[in-house]
Amino acid sequence: MFKTNAIFDDDLTTLLVKKTNKFNTKTVMENPLLIAIHKVSMGVMATIQFPTGKVPKIGDIVILEGISYKIAGVVFSVNPITQGDRLDNNIHDCRIEKL
């Protein structure tokens, strides 16, 4: 039904969880705030602040600066202090792919 892959990077102290589910429903989010974008070895990572109540999922489509991207992964920080602050502000690091 679904497959889960996890990648752990000690230097970044982050855990990237990728989940593929054939029943995943895609949401188009048109007004997230792009905070930062970085090219890394596994693709393009973006720090995005989502509207209140919107949580990013694998397969969701976000429109950033007029360009559509698909969320290919969501990063969860291992540090509970910074992750709590970021979750309160609905800020997530996502691996994105241009459509």
19: which 2 tokens? Answer: 């989940």
Q: How confident is the model at residue 78 (pLDDT cuts 50, 70, 90)?
A: low
Q: How confident is the model at residue 2 (pLDDT cuts 50, 70, 90)?
A: very low
In whole angstroms, what is the distance from residue 37 CA to residue 94 CA?
10
In whole angstroms, what is the distance from residue 79 CA to residue 71 CA?
23
Q: Is the pLDDT of residue 86 over 90?
A: no
pLDDT tens figures, 46-66: 999 998 888 888 999 998 888
